[in-house]
Structure 1
């Protein structure tokens, strides 16, 4: 017996490997999905926009609303995870609820959405690294060179066993959350600015002032990636327990961290000054807050950890995308080779290479088109991804209700009907708001918003077309303890 035969995922020589393996606990998976949310990036980039363009000093309440809606979504989502053993998350759950055509449509929409947000982050990290180097006297180089270096590192880590990525993400996440918490504690310890600690988020009239819909959209964008807990099912130590625990923990940590940090930022400046600062100096608001309350070293650390935050998001999205590709390869929606796992690392190594190539192609297209890395690549692509992912969550909530009403595998009304239905209503409203305000998310262009809408719809229809043209694509083995296959 060889050494490789003893490792997770190894099989006899000459056989193909189509299984992933790992012993990830809730903590490791939480690191994966919270890192994808890029907390420091949200604090530095989204908070000022939400305060300035949304509902001002009451913006922190938007995170409480979004967390409540997503907790309702998580009830049905985690209940589904206990019954459905597939690791395709959105795609698998929607397929079990609405059938193979809707499932594959959702899979291709997910691939487009997550690829878009990943490429957007490549643009942001390239520009951020260039600014960091030049601000310290270094040479100015094209942003895409930094992006390519980051892509190579992500590709290396994504090729290897998932536990290596988990350890890297754990360290990076602690750093970025740690510096923000230091600033939060300093602001609270000082009692806020001259006006004291803000109470605007506690007053409904303040929340509904300005543009609360815009505030909710930008707040919701900060949760992208939390739902990916189910994608790591095959690599979890005890999926039935680990996935639900990780989902709730990630959601509560993200929502609590954002609500606290946005409230601290508003309090640091005062209700009125926070709005004016967010409007006039959005890019430097966090750095100025850190410098003002902690010191210049904290301001420098914010700039450094912003880079590591973006890198952590890239690695997380890469891992999510490769597991979608892996699942689609194993169900023959994509070439079967995409569903192979590495003998030694038990990783989706071919899917990882495919994902790296796809991101490279899109990034090169952006460079050739001469797009600005932040104002266009990051803004446009993340805006498109936000619409796609909210739609996927909405469809998943509906699929949970349909699945359990049809199969009766779980008859608990709160878990399978009431909470998922309430989550569906909340997410449907957010989907409409996001779609209507898409032009704002992509720089105010109605034409560009229309093009993005067509691309998102085309991805879904393309997946459905694959289901029609390839009758065996997307069919899965026993994904439920009681249900043996998707027959539609």
Structure 2
């Protein structure tokens, strides 16, 4: 298939030029623009302050940085197959388009609904973290305590404005916020490395006995969850310059940068506290691990900066996932799954403005419901929704890996395999084994991930099964619903 054919096929709707123009998104995202969106979705500062202390406490302690290396390798192996299939998927739609290419239209749309629910759930859930973070931040400066929901709804308003505009504006905002949060963590890393930390440089991540100590499986779970969001490299296909080159490069660059950042920064955080006391500290006060280290090595000014950037990091994460959800709604509308009006791009901004608006309405309804019911913003509002997202996204990764193998197996049988065996079979096959192991760990520990509730854990799985059935059912009954 020639590049010319692939690019012309990226228009999701056949029709006259004017209609196609109004159903196409436009942007000038290059490799780094997409990387900003993806890495912001991963929320680097949020990960170092959240999952990392939990991984140290509940996982394998000082050996935790090595687990990030393992996680990075698993996802990079997945990405080898993912990007190998990219030239054959000439439309925006990310995982579900890839799954449909390898496993069929009906299956693809079933997973489209799983993806939509998973990302929407995570977007909504992070508003709980942001609301509590903003509440604590302003209260620390002696200002009156304002309910977390008010801060969350204020953030919805800002996201609404940014989502209505062209993706280039969001890229610029995300770029500024991302650079700021990464810079403060790298500053902490550098000071800790130069001073030698509390007990000298940590060696746990290169000590086999430490790497396999405790519960390395749980550590792998927390490390893997820190990468959620990298699918966005393909979601923004229509808004990328030269997507056949940009998407693969942005995918690998984002994953490598995230993996190296997490590994080095986790090692520095452990070094800051010292191998002999970091596990106990992380167990006693996980949320205080990063702030405590920051205050000790960067002073009170550094601590205040981290507190502010923690909130802006969560906002960047929300904005990234909002853009992903809006584009899912936009693309599915142009596939005739949802009302066609949601698939119209703004005449001036070339943004999915109606899909973006609908997403924000849904988010606001959930936030208001959480306020009325009286849910805790973290232990209930966030954890319940994040549990749904975690299971759904890992299922999507597994299904995409299977689709890659199936697609290239079919081409091999037809004598049309034009991709190296390493990219078509070996790398995605090994990655699939790793993903299956992670999925087993997720299911085994899902009740703990959703606040210790087995009924909610079961409900999360049932919900994903139901939405898959709905998506597949729509595609099966309506022949006009197509992947292109």
Tell me the TM-score range normalised by the shorter chain: over 0.9
2:452 aligned residue (441, 444, 449): 444
1:299 equivalenced with 2:308 (yes/no): no
Equivalent residue pairs, number: 466
1:453 equivalenced with 2:458 (yes/no): no
CA pair 350-272 structure 1, distance change in 2 beyond 3 A: same
CA-CA distance at 1:207 after TM superposition = 1.7
CA–CA distance in 2 between the matches of 1:377 and 1:260?
A: 31
* Alignment match, 1:62: 67
Once the two structures are superposed, the pairs formed by residues 23-38 of structure 1 within 5 Å of their partners are: 23-38=28-43
1:430 equivalenced with 2:424 (yes/no): no
TM-score by length of 1: 0.93
CA–CA distance in 1 between the matches of 2:334 and 2:255?
A: 29
* Alignment match, 1:266: 270
* Alignment match, 1:476: 483
1:281 aligned residue (285, 288, 308): 285
1:211 equivalenced with 2:211 (yes/no): no
Once the two structures are superposed, the pairs formed by residues 79-94 of structure 1 within 5 Å of their partners are: 79-94=84-99
* Alignment match, 1:167: 172
Deviations 1:45-97 (A, max 9, x none): 11111111111111111110100000000001111112211110111000111
Runs of at least 4 residues off by over 4 Å:
11-16
* Alignment match, 2:343: 339
Query: Comparing 464-473 with 147-156, which one deviates more in the overlay?
Result: 464-473
Deviations 1:9-58 (A, max 9, x none): 9x987887111111210000000000000000001111111111111111
CA–CA distance in 1 between the matches of 2:464 and 2:276?
A: 39
1:188 equivalenced with 2:193 (yes/no): yes
CA-CA distance at 1:364 after TM superposition = 2.3
Q: Is the CA contact 1:51–1:59 (under 8 Å) kept in the aligned structure 2? A: yes
Deviations 1:157-183 (A, max 9, x none): 011100000000000000000000000
CA–CA distance in 2 between the matches of 1:395 and 1:14?
A: 33
Q: Is the CA contact 2:55–2:61 (under 8 Å) kept in the aligned structure 1? A: yes
Deviations 1:194-223 (A, max 9, x none): 2x1111111232222111111111111110
SS state at 1:447 partner:
helix
SS state at 1:226 partner:
coil
CA–CA distance in 2 between the matches of 1:97 and 1:286?
A: 43
CA-CA distance at 1:405 after TM superposition = 1.6
Deviations 1:241-264 (A, max 9, x none): 100010000000100000000000
Structure 2: segments with no counterpart, 5+ residues:
1-11
Q: Is the CA contact 1:410–1:416 (under 8 Å) kept in the aligned structure 2? A: no
1:48 aligned residue (53, 75, 89): 53
1:368 equivalenced with 2:372 (yes/no): yes
* Alignment match, 1:404: 408
CA–CA distance in 1 between the matches of 2:348 and 2:281?
A: 52
Query: Comparing 461-470 with 266-275, which one deviates more in the overlay?
Result: 461-470
Structure 1: segments with no counterpart, 5+ residues:
1-8, 478-488
* Alignment match, 1:420: 428
Query: Comparing 12-21 with 268-277, which one deviates more in the overlay?
Result: 12-21
* Alignment match, 1:257: 261
1:109 equivalenced with 2:114 (yes/no): yes
CA-CA distance at 1:380 after TM superposition = 2.0
CA–CA distance in 2 between the matches of 1:171 and 1:235?
A: 20
* Alignment match, 2:78: 73
CA–CA distance in 2 between the matches of 1:203 and 1:243?
A: 36
1:177 equivalenced with 2:185 (yes/no): no
CA–CA distance in 1 between the matches of 2:120 and 2:373?
A: 18
TM-score by length of 2: 0.94
CA–CA distance in 1 between the matches of 2:84 and 2:231?
A: 13
* Alignment match, 1:485: none
